[in-house]
Structure 1
Amino acid sequence: MLMPSIFGENLFDDFFDYPFVKNEAESNGLMKTDVKDTEHGYEITMNLPGVKKEDVKAALKDGYLTISATSDSKKEEKNDKGQYIRRERYTGSCSRSFYVGDAVTEEDIKAKFENGTLKMLVPKKEEQTAVENKKYIAIEG
């Protein structure tokens, strides 16, 4: 059963307030990404609200930069007698991948996580075409 929304807010937003459960439009900015093309490279800014630095991982494999985040939250509310009124636990993860090219290495990428925002600088590198090295076979005779 769908519940009515009041001023764009769902009545149960506080009850089901987990960033990984909602769809992307309602995710409160989770993993919303801006990619800015600059003269020297790309600036990637990604919102990761409620995620700690140690729960964010960035990996580079086969020219793809993959950023993943995990969240583990626990909410408890007790009354005056110490009895639970509400107790919730949630664990979830999400990731995004970007093709940056095979010429970029882990050492080239600079990353900084501050106040729930991940900023990465990925340099532009042109992939160099392999130069064909001709090897000759010695012919005896």
Structure 2
Amino acid sequence: MLMPSIFGEDLFDDWMRVPVERETNRGYRTTELMKTDIKDVDGSYELSMDLPGFHKEDVKIQLKDGYLNIQASRTENKDEKDNHGKYVHRERYTGQCSRSFYVGKELEHEDIHAKYDNGVLVVTFPKEVKKKVPEEKKFISIEG
């Protein structure tokens, strides 16, 4: 079935994508947030996540019950006033997004390393964690 269009664009494009792809005031679509690549690098995994528009302070990483939880939240206020101090334009934006990855219950906080640079979060952690075997107490026998 053909949909009505004006100037080559489907009239229902915006309506159909709202829950999935919503454009933010910075021009990013929500499907562009938190795009993640995971690479196998020399016995470790490297998780690279796009977080455009966020600052390092906006990002929280937590390890809980074997899940690596990454959350980013941001609040922004834009005020534009005329010469008399009256609002000509005023916007407020609050947004939050999160993702979780199962990494295994053997992983400890010390095993995970994170770096945030230029809108990209890079998290590295080992593929397999060497289980910490409790030290067996050995005694030296005394002769005589």
TM-score by length of 1: 0.70
Q: Secondary structure at the match of 2:25?
A: coil
CA distance in 1, matches of 2:130, 2:7: 51
- Compute the displacement of 1:81 (Å): 3.2
CA distance in 1, matches of 2:54, 2:75: 9
User: What does residue 17 of structure 1 align with?
Assistant: 25
Cα-to-partner distance string for 1:42-64 (whole Å, 9 max, x where unaligned): 11111111111111100001110
Q: How is 1:10-89 mapped onto 2 (pairs within 5 angstroms)?
A: 17=25, 26-27=29-30, 29-89=32-92
Match of 1:118 among 101, 117, 121: 121
Cα-to-partner distance string for 1:90-141 (whole Å, 9 max, x where unaligned): 112111000001111110011001111110101111586xxxxxxxxxxxxx
CA contact (8 A) 2:55 2:119 kept: yes
Number of aligned residue pairs = 117
User: What does residue 94 of structure 2 align with?
Assistant: 91
CA contact (8 A) 1:102 1:127 kept: no
Unaligned segments of structure 2, at least 5 residues: 15-22, 132-144
- Compute the displacement of 1:16 (Å): 5.2
Q: Secondary structure at the match of 1:107?
A: helix
For the aligned residues, what is the CA RMSD? 3.1
Unaligned segments of structure 1, at least 5 residues: 129-141
